[in-house]
Each structure stands twice: as C-alpha cells, then as structure tokens.
Amino acid sequence: MRTLFAALILGALALQGAAPAQFRVRLETSKGPIVIEVHRDWAPYGADRFYELVTAGYFDDNRFFRVVKGQWAQFGINGTPAVAARWRARTIPDDPPKQSNVRGMVAFAFAEPNARTTQVYIALKDLSNPQDAQGFVPFGRVVDGMDVADALNSEYGETSGSGIRAGRQQPLFDGGNAYLDREFPRLDRLLHAVVMP
C-alpha cells in the first residue's frame, strides 16, 4: 500500500508544471489553520516545489518535528519512510534572494547549496541575520494563523529531529511517524495541506 501511495505521488508530480504566480495554501494543523501566501516571483523554484508537494499530498499527516519557541517551526519529512526516501534526493536549485527572513516568512531548509528538497520552516521571529546571508530564500509568508504557528509544541526543541545541518534526522527518515509518535508523542501534526481556491 505504501509503495502504491509513493508511486501515485511521483506520478502526480510528473503532471505538474509551474505554480501560479500567487496562491494560498491552508495548513490544517492540530492547533488550528495556518494560511501561507506564496509569491512565485520571490522564489520560482521554491514556489514550484511547494506547489508540487502540496498538490501531491506530501505534507498530509506530517509532524512539526523541529519547533524552537520564538525561532522557527519546521516540517516536511513525510511520515511514510518510502515516500520520504523518494523525495530526499530530488533537489531544486537555489533561488536568488528577493525577500528577507522576517517573522512569518516561509522558506526551504537546506544543508548545502542547490540542495533544497521538502523541508520547510516558518520564521517565528526576524531571522534575517544571519539567515539572509546564508541563502535561506522565502517563497511565501503566513497571512493568517501566526498565533497558531507560535502555539505549536516546542517542548522538544532540537531533540526531535533538529535541522538538516545537524545530521540527526536519519531516525525520522527510517521510522517516519511511527518513530516520532513513539519518541515524541506530543509533537503537533500537519493534518492536511491544500491549495485554496
């Protein structure tokens, strides 16, 4: 069943083209809704990938695995290990920076240049220094639900997955939601992500 699901996601991606110039995505979370407005002109590669992931259902039943209070809320490792593995090497090129990483901005996390894949974070404060200089490029911003993003459970901080650069995410890729639910049972969930009409 998981293999079939992964094949359907990859098949759906083959049909995707460029994202709309501007669109909104509603994240239904265990704490309430968050609405992200995406601007393709800010980061075309990032906007296109986010659109791909949302329309393919990639973010459905994910965990906010890295929430540091007053810093960021990160998600984007699929809860089914086979699906997460298929996407892990599907990198996109870097976008040139056009916006700053201020509170409410949404950007892809990455470990090295031209290596963004699926992991996204919401800036819970002004992160422009040092993230702008490090190449984190916002593709959207939260336009409704920042109070929800601020309320996401941060009790585990960096211990439940950390960032890509820390090199401690392998258990999340290997064990998926089963691992996270067992080891970090109070993480908040991203139940469903959908492009709004």
pLDDT for position 168:
78
Residue whose structure tokens are 């409410």 = 104
Q: What are phi and psi of 130, to 5 degrees?
A: -110, 5
- Assign 116 to helix, strand or coil: strand
The residue range of the domain holding 155 is 2-9+36-195
CA proximity to 116, closest of 83, 138, 92, 132: 92
Contact 124, 69 (CB under 8 A): yes
Where in the chain does DSSP place strands (E)? 22-29, 32-39, 62-63, 66-68, 72-75, 105-108, 120-123, 138-144, 189-195
CA-CA distances (angstroms) from residue 59 to 25, 80, 128, 130?
11, 11, 26, 28
172 lies in a domain? yes
pLDDT tens digits along 97-134: 999 999 999 999 999 999 999 999 999 999 999 899 99
Within-domain flag for 104: yes
**Which is nearest to 197 in space by CA: 11, 35, 32?**
35
56 pLDDT above the threshold of 50 = yes
34 and 27 in contact (C-beta within 8 Å)?
A: yes
Q: Are 62 and 77 in contact (CB under 8 A)?
A: yes
The neighbouring-strand residues paired with 163 are: none
Each residue's pLDDT tens digit, 148-195: 999 999 999 999 987 666 567 999 999 999 999 999 999 999 999 999
Cβ atoms of 148 and 31 closer than 8 Å? yes
Q: Residue 5 above 90 pLDDT? A: no
Is residue 110 in a domain? yes
**How far apart (Å, rounded) are the C-alpha atoms in residues 89 and 92?**
9
Helix (H, G, I), strand (E, B) or coil at 184: coil
CB 113 within 8 A of CB 94: yes
Q: What is the CATH number of the domain that holds 188?
A: 2.40.100.10
Mean per-residue pLDDT of the chain? 91
Q: Would you state the pLDDT for residue 161?
A: 82
Residue 181 lies in a domain: yes
Single pTM value for the model: 0.89
- pLDDT value at 50 more than 60: yes
Q: Is residue 16 part of a domain?
A: no
Q: How confident is the model at residue 1 (pLDDT cuts 50, 70, 90)?
A: very low
Instruction: Determine, yes or no, domain membership for 92.
Output: yes
How is residue 16 annotated by DSSP? -
Is residue 21 in a domain? no
- Is there a domain that residue 50 lies in? yes
Structural domain total, the chain: 1
C-alpha 171/C-alpha 166 separation (Å) is 13
